[in-house]
Structure 1
Amino acid sequence: MEAIKPLQTRNPGIKTAWIIFWHLFFWMGMISFFVFLARTNDEQLTTRELVIIFLLYPLINISLFYLNYLVFIPNFLNRKKYLQYAGIVALSIVCYGLFKYGIGLLFKDVVLVRQKGHVIPFSTYFYSSIFTSLIFVFLSTALKFSSDWFLNERIQRDLENQRLSAELAFLKSQINPHFLFNSLNSIYSLAYQRSETTPEAILKLSEIMRYMLYECNDAKVDLDKELQYLQNYIDLQKIRFGAKAFIDFKVEGNITNQKIEPLLLIAFIENAFKHGVANDITSPIKLLINVADGKLHFYIQNKKHTLNRDAAGGIGLINVQRRLNLLYPDRYSLNIRDEENTYTCELSITL
């Protein structure tokens, strides 16, 4: 199975530029909003006061936001150094409170002086600063945890998609040798009998292999081409059995402009020919494919053969069931009835 490659970020420089842009856009929008409210509610604020209150102090708080977001959380909290993280955050909040109070002393008339000349005491201002700093630390922590969670979820989805793709490639790689093995056995039987239909059988096999090699590389193929592939396989089996092959194959509904995962149905038909009775005119292999309302209904029934049951007979059906689980989760139903004289498979897929 193909190894799962680590997640690679496309154009990391462009991604970083977009992140910086949206962060700048958010903070500029918030500052502009509060400046607008201030000018609307209080026409007495000067440009100097607006710059100090709505630009200088927000920039100080924003710097604490990113100090926690870019330095403290990655180096302490993410490494499970909880005590160190709590201590460095507490120390930073205290230092920021002292620093902002120092800035307030420089612009005392704007920051610390209120109406009627009342000066805000240090304790009141300091507690208010701690509360504001805690809000910014909380917001940066919430943003960091949220972004890391979404990133981890995306990485897990990408890894799961890569795993599923590798598993599907592995399952499909098993189909070709399995099918080729059975077909070559049939042609060998014809050649051994010196049958005149051997060249025609080889030509049919060539058409089948061309389809499998060149048209099954896409995730989905046209349903009509897939059904033509099944018809070619049935024709190959008829060549093998000659006039003794009896199969009732019907296709109903509109099969054009429909898509299906390639090589899903062949295993059921292979199983019917390999382990069933194909040369009994009273009990032909019955195969019906009906397409209606965006659903494909597949029905096949064969009379059971009691001889030549080799141990490898179930590989194809096991693979197709696994592929159905991967490709059509909750979009298919499969009913297999192994009765005394007949073997029946009914499959319904939402295309």
Structure 2
Amino acid sequence: MTNQENKSAKTALITGASSGIGYELAKLFAKDGYNLVLVARSTEKLNELGGQFWDEYGVETVVITKDLSKEDAARDVYNQVKEKNITVDILVNDAGVGTYGLFATETDWEKEKSLIHLNVLTTTLLTKLFLKDMVERNEGKILNLASIASITPTPLMAVYAATKAYIYNFTQSLINELKDTNVSVTALLPNATDTDFFNKAGATNAKVTDNLDDAVVVAKDAYNALMKGASKVIPGGLGNKAQEIMAYLTPQETLAQMMRKNMEPKNTAQTEEKSNKAAWAWGIGIAAVVIAGAAVALAYNNSNVVDKARYRYKAGKLKSGADDVYTDVKDALLSGLDNVKDAVATAKEVVAKARETFTEAVS
């Protein structure tokens, strides 16, 4: 890529770009020829990344060193971008932190106040400033990092989960406000991911860290969804998506208890751990059945009159097949699944059987 071509390229601004999901997203943008504005606290690391992206992809990088948890940090970033006459085509609000422990007795207020400022205030103001420019141009995209915790109560990380619930709700509201424009906003809801997040939050001993998603996979799924203008993306496989369905179906008290066990230290009683895994397995199994049912309903509604007649004629067979599937899942769960991966495998079988039965019913 020549310098002239590079100067005409679009630009993505990424906060929290020095590591984790933000870094992986920056690589994807650079690979696709986007110039970058990278924002984080480490000047040395950002400069290193800028050199790397220039050498590998020939894209220009502007580095803004900023602690985004500080007052007016977002406005200062925006002002620096405007002073450099840079048009931000895509904004990625990736920077975020967490705290771990009992809110009443173990966590520190100053850290929580900083967390709220970074996760909520900075993200909101950056969105407001750059979104206004995008709407005026009638073009642009924004990716806001929420979390799977944004749709579940999360004891031991209560303030973090609350800030992510704000981001998710905020994003979905903006999507509706922007529906008549060419500007899109996407919420990213990853599950626990293999980054430095848990280390910084003081939660490296939490049970949830035993099963972490790959930041590379999370970033790739997020990038693809952002480019499509999707309203949200839950990266990873069926287990993560089933967890979303479970969050909507399970009573909040039960969900909070399940999440509490998932966030507890690893050295708790083994019986409690098995109980927690069984609960998650049940939830994932139920969610998978719901997903399969929704797929069948959608296919039925989109069928023509003849296919609908065939479907109704063979509905008894479908019910019988579904009952058999339910029995299989129930027996497997009652016998004790070793881990959630086994539950996911069972859930996949549920979906496959439901799809097979439906196909046979309408053929």
TM-score (norm 2): 0.19
Max Rg structure: 1
TM-score (norm 1): 0.19
